[in-house]
Chain A
Amino acid sequence: MASDVCMSLQDVTISYGSFEAVKNVYMDLPKGKVTAFIGPSGCGKSTVLRALNRMNDLIPGCSLKGRVIFDQHDLYDKRVDPVEVRRRIGMVFQKPNPFPKSIYENIAFGARINGYKGDMDELVERSLRKAAVWDECKDKLKESGFSLSGGQQQRLCIARAIATEPEVILMDEPCSALDPISTLKIEETMHELKRSYTIMIVTHNMQQAVRVADMTAFFNAEAVEGGSGKVGYLVEFNETENIFNSPSQQSTLDYVSGRFG
């Protein structure tokens, strides 16, 4: 069992300043699977996702208690270099954010700064193919990444994340800014990608979770006594089928059946 765990969160509490955004999360994220994080806005699911590759370090005042174990190391150990963490755990963001460079350079950038020595042309093609955007891009590799449509840009960003050959890919609502057809293409891409990578995805779209995820974690938020605002917590984490068909918690049932705010 232990070898199947990719990342393990142990009593993780994340705060912005003195405000606790999400509290006491225990989770074992399985390797080689797609795990979806669902839940209402403000429940801390994106915060937890960003904690997995230390992206929260970049937000002033954000701090984490507890342990995030990846490859037998605590990611938040003092000796761990956050830059190295992000090389091994890639990220795709909510809004497509290609660099203001050519399509080719968008892919090559990450590989180059990580000291990739192989054939760059081949890597660019392979990454774009894996992200299912090669056909749209192959004739305009020298053009700006912004010349692509939103959906293509997002797949370019996925290709960019793949090019550094990470072990895990985090996706923070990757389809929320896209139309249904682009969304479908990204989801197909994810099915391809999970053969080689572990994927964690935050989504507001429950059908999407059903379509792509093997495992689903449901987060919720509740007001705490004397606190300011709501504090997020993990309600239930199980196989997607169980979460949607036979959840063990009433609040999960309410949420997945749409009877929730």
Chain B
Amino acid sequence: MIPLFLVLIYVLIQGGRLISLQLLTELPPAPGLEGGGIGNAILGTIVVTLIASLIAIPVGVGGGVYLSEYAQDGWFSKFVRFGNDVLAGVPSIICGVFIYSLIVATRIFFDQSFSAMAGGIALSVLMLPTVIKTTYEGLLLVPQEMRMGAYGVGASRFVTITQITLPAAFTPIATGVVLGIARAAGETAPLIFTALFSPFWPEGLFNPIATMSVLIFNFAIMPYEAQNELAWAASFVLVIMILGANLLARWISHATRA
């Protein structure tokens, strides 16, 4: 708890005082100029995280359902679960390098190199193990009798999963997904060389895009006061967003249990 509060208080002092409407809605200033904001980075973080979620949630929930409901408990499912745990431990920068070589360096999307899409895909690789694991473990908690009840009234396996088992495991799955999003939204390393950065508003999914974490990384080491302050302000906003996501996850797990 102490490190959490130290970080929060420090970021609050350094960044909180800079919060204003202008900060949230304007572009960052050119080096040497004053004022400006981090609006493009906030929007970019949302866009990139959204792309990551759109990939990681269907694939991850599907993977969890496969492991829990379809796979025989043999070597293959053990191997997949082990692989998933290993993937969860892969350093995020490795995910970045992987997507860099797979998508950025090959210019696979419309001959574009760095892009929001590449950033989103890199983050989805990070989210995937969390989503798979929470889905799998959430489904294991659903009592077998519940499935039997559905089969007993003539439900097929597909109907049982989509209408009974998955809704019954909604809480742990939703909690895991939100925590996965929160983790992905704060990542810097995989974005530096996939989404890169842009001082402008997002120009579509296949161009470089600004994100808060990369903005912090870039601006904190610049020799300009205005940029340093924006980095602090962005830190504050990012921490609040991630804190909010974590609180949302807690709220989901409480609200739906009652």
Contacts and interface: CB of A to CB of B under 8 A. Distances in A.
Are A and B interaction partners? yes
Interface of A: 53, 55, 58, 60, 83-84, 86-88, 90-93, 95, 97-101, 109-110, 113-114, 157, 160-161, 163-164
A100 B72 CA distance: 26
B155 A113 contact: yes
A109 B163 contact: yes
Interface of B: 72-73, 143, 145-156, 159, 163-164, 167-168
Contact of A100 (B73, B153, B156, B168): B168
A100 B151 CA distance: 15
Given A58-B148, A97-B148, 4 more contacts: A55-B148, A91-B148, A97-B145, A99-B149
B150 A99 contact: yes
Contacts of A53: 152
B154 A60 contact: no
A113 B159 contact: yes
B38 to A, nearest CB: 43
B155 A55 contact: no
Contacts of B167: 100-101
A98 B143 CA distance: 11
Contacts of B153: 86-87, 90, 109-110, 113-114, 160-161, 163-164
Nearest to A58: B151
Nearest to B148: A93
A60 B143 CA distance: 16
Contact of A110 (B73, B143, B154): B154
Contacts of A99: 146, 149-150, 164, 168
Nearest to B145: A97
Contacts of B145: 93, 95, 97
